């Protein structure tokens, strides 16, 4: 056995670079709660198609978070599934879209990705007794704090890039062009990207995760559109995916990942998707006075509440 040990170590060391890259690719897909390699690669391609800055910062954040997890000795099975990379991915995108492409932003993206890994461990420990997972909370906490504090530092703040307005009011009529645009941008806005063709590419990636995942992503997008329109949300914000991306995430998480595939569970997931649409408006109004960002908080809070209720709702069953 001692003779064979060096050979085993050598094999593991040779496999580490490829294992790291595969885990990082899966980390991109885990933003949509999917560990499938092709899903991650296709979504990453969609991010690069949105612009090299988006693609670069998404890649940088994912790689750094994954590398940090390796360095800290986090459970390798979780790393291999991409569970340590997805918050870093979103943090990188959030920082470049909020602060612009500057040298300081690269430094913040690296630091933010490292902190995401630490917060992932902390929140996982805290939430475990309740049967809940961290979801994208590390990303929201890290990015929210960094973006909120950025204007106080001259070497970080260079003026905010143009962004989709989150104000209320405006035209509430909706056309076919608005509808199909919203359907796809609801998917791309999960990654803070307002480009319909990126959403289309991402749906192709989700198809590789399975028909059920694709159907719930589509159903979540439609639910978000209907709920936002029924509540009278401004057409421009519906079309740009501002009111629908959290619905997409809730539908995938609750309907396709966390609960089994029953009619009751499906209805529960879509109810949550609709609720997250209303919560998006509430949290946006809450954060607006002090310059905070909604990010994926509606998805997180809605999913936590829905899943915390499951043990006392006999008609609903967790997966696994």
Is residue 218 within 8 Å of 203, Cβ to Cβ? yes
Question: CA-CA distance, 88 to 67, in Å (whole number)?
Answer: 11
* Dist CA 318 CA 300 (whole Å): 17
CA distance 196 to 95: 21
pLDDT tens per residue, range 73-130: 999 999 999 999 999 999 999 999 999 999 999 999 999 999 999 999 999 999 999 9
pTM: 0.92
Summarised one tens digit per residue, pLDDT across range 114-157 is 999 999 999 999 999 999 999 999 999 999 999 999 888 878 88
């Amino acid at each position: 056995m001692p003779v064979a040990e060096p050979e085993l170590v050598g094999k593991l060391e040779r496999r580490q670079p490829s294992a790291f890259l595969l885990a990082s690719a899966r980390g991109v897909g885990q933003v949509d709660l999917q560990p499938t390699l092709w899903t991650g690669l296709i979504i990453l391609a969609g991010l690069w198609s949105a612009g090299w800055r988006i693609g670069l910062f998404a890649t940088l954040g994912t790689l750094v978070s994954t590398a940090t997890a390796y360095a800290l000795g986090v459970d390798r099975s979780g790393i291999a599934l991409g569970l340590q990379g997805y918050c870093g991915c979103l943090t990188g995108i959030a920082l470049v879209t909020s602060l612009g492409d500057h040298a300081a932003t690269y430094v913040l993206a690296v630091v933010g990705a490292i902190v995401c890994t630490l917060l992932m461990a902390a929140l996982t420990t805290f939430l475990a007794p309740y049967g809940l997972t961290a979801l994208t909370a590390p990303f929201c906490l890290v990015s929210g704090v960094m973006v909120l504090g950025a204007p106080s530092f001259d070497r970080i703040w260079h003026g905010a890039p143009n962004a989709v307005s989150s104000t209320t009011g405006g035209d509430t009529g909706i056309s076919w062009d608005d509808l199909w645009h919203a359907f796809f941008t609801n998917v791309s806005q999960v990654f803070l990207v307002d480009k319909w063709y990126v959403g289309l590419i991402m749906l192709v990636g989700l198809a590789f995760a399975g028909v059920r995942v694709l159907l719930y992503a589509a159903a979540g997008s439609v639910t978000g559109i209907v709920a936002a329109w029924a509540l009278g949300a401004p057409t421009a914000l519906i079309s740009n995916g501002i009111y629908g991306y959290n619905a997409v995430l809730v539908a995938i998480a609750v309907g396709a990942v966390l609960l089994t595939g029953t009619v009751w569970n499906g209805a529960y997931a879509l109810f949550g998707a609709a609720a997250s649409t209303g919560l998006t408006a509430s949290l946006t109004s809450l954060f607006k006075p002090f310059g905070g960002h909604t990010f994926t908080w509606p998805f997180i809070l809605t999913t936590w509440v829905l899943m915390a209720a499951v043990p006392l709702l006999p008609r609903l069953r967790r997966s696994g």
